[in-house]
Amino acid sequence: MRIQEAVGEYVKCCRVQYDLTLDQFASESRVFGSNWNYSSVKKLEEGKMSMTLDNLLILVKTISSLTQTETSLSKVFQGGGALDIGDSHFITRSDICKALDGKGYEIRQLQRSSRKDDSAVAFLSKAIMEQIPDIMKGVSSALVHNAARRYSDNFLSHVPTLSEIRASEKLNVVPGAVAALCLMKYGRFLDDETAARAGEGASPQKRGRETRGVLEELDLLLDDMMNSDSYRAMHVSELGLAAKRGDTDDEQSEYEAEP
């Protein structure tokens, strides 16, 4: 996936999340100097618009204005996964955020023979991994690598959506692990599952209720998976996992001390 395609998916996710039309988005963008119309925004969402700096700046201001939330350039590229930027070269989303924050970043060359491994590692952004409890880092890693092997390109070509990023904060795993859990349980990604449950033309409130229901099911799946004998036998020595995850390291220690 290229940068303009990732930006397009982010825009579409925002628009659907806040129940905005293509015309509304185009009209608001013109306040900030664009000449976009319905077709322009559609082209943007399809990843067919050139992502020049001026387009990105207008885009971020438009989203901030329409959603009444502070949006930054780096937020557009949050999540896991890598983006193609040239012939056999890619950059991780975390490195794009570093570049936008004025920090050092890397452009890597894709090794064709190990593409799945490289892409799976890209899902495990160091910046995101540092923000979750230690006990869940191993869980995230196991889920992402297992999904990369099991679902191949269907998983590795997926860019975590805003819903999956927000869900990751609630489940204490990386966004890529949320995508992996959804594939494991439903055979499709989070947005597709909640849309199917809510039905066509559902209100934002109904979609929100369905999303919360799915997250409760995923949380139970995590518990069941980590409590299963087969999972513990496969991963407890490798990842240092206990039978039940704790929300904090102190809680985890208390749990492990129980008879």
Residue 72 sits in the same domain as residue 145: no
Q: What is the CATH number of the domain that holds 25?
A: 1.10.260
Expressed as residue numbers, the domain containing 175 is 113-257
Is the residue at 99 inside a domain? no
DSSP 8-state symbol, 159: P
164 shares its domain with 40: no
Q: Are residues 180 and 58 in the same domain?
A: no
Asked if residue 118 and residue 19 are part of one domain, the reply reads no
Local structure of 84: helix, strand or coil: strand
Note whether residue 97 is domain-resident.
no
The verdict on 142 and 69 lying in the same domain is no
Q: Are residues 204 and 137 in the same domain?
A: yes
Identify whether residues 121 and 172 lie together within a single domain. Answer: yes
Beta strands in 93-232 (DSSP E): 108-109
> pLDDT tens, position by position, for the chain (259 residues)?
788 888 988 898 888 888 999 999 999 999 999 999 999 999 999 889 988 999 999 999 999 999 998 888 988 887 766 777 876 778 888 888 889 888 888 887 754 444 444 555 555 555 555 555 666 777 888 888 888 888 877 787 787 787 888 888 888 888 888 999 998 899 889 988 998 999 887 887 888 889 999 999 999 988 887 776 555 544 444 444 443 444 444 544 554 454 4
Domain identity same for 10 and 120: no
Residue 94 lies in a domain: no
Evaluated on CA atoms 50, 51, 57, 61, the torsion sign reads positive
Contact of 38 with 22, CB cutoff 8 Å: yes
How far apart, in whole angstroms, are the C-alpha atoms of residue 143 and residue 25? 36
Same structural domain, 247 and 182: yes
pTM of the model as a whole: 0.48
Question: Are 121 and 215 found together in one domain?
Answer: yes
